[in-house]
Structure 1
Amino acid sequence: MEYNELRDLRLAKPFFPFTIHLADGRTLDVPLGERLTMHPDNSYAHLTVDEFEVLRFERSQIVRVEVSKTPVADPWEEERDRVRAERAERAER
């Protein structure tokens, strides 16, 4: 999978969770886009909250990516909408 394809998956609206399968047999679940960060050198970091682990890996290590057919709601969407509404209200004053 190309860097841009993975970036598109990560930034998709709505977001579809996906699983990255690496050549060494590990699987990385990406339930939210924030769990995967992308770097200019085409490397990635996978963040797991429970273990507080950051795993860096290269695109060449990706064997395949499985994408869920069911989108998930953005947990921050409501908060962003609230902040936007507050800003618009302040701008009108």
Structure 2
Amino acid sequence: MDKHFSEICEFLAKTDDAKTIARFLESLLTPKEVKTLSSRWQIVKLLDQGVPQRKIAKDLHLSLCKITRGSKELKKRNSILKKAISQYQTDG
């Protein structure tokens, strides 16, 4: 893992305030990057709910390639995305 990426991860791990994290990400990322990040999270949540990839692509006006990446990540053994979704559903 890249040193600078590790520093970002360490900061996020030490920060327990969602507003601070949002401000940090909005300061670091462009509005388009924030939208892309949000869209990817939406995609994996829909995939986890069993929504077909083609329906997601149509509804969100996205290519299947963007959705397939999320699908592959969810299928991995010990998927961190599945864990994150599960944790969010439990906490949220």
TM-score range (shorter-chain normalised) is under 0.3
Larger CA Rg, structure 1 vs 2: 1
Q: Which has the higher helix share?
A: 2
Does 1 or 2 have the higher relative contact order (CA < 8 Å, sep 6+)? 1
| TM-score of the two chains, using structure 1 as the length reference | 0.24
| TM-score of the two chains, using structure 2 as the length reference | 0.25
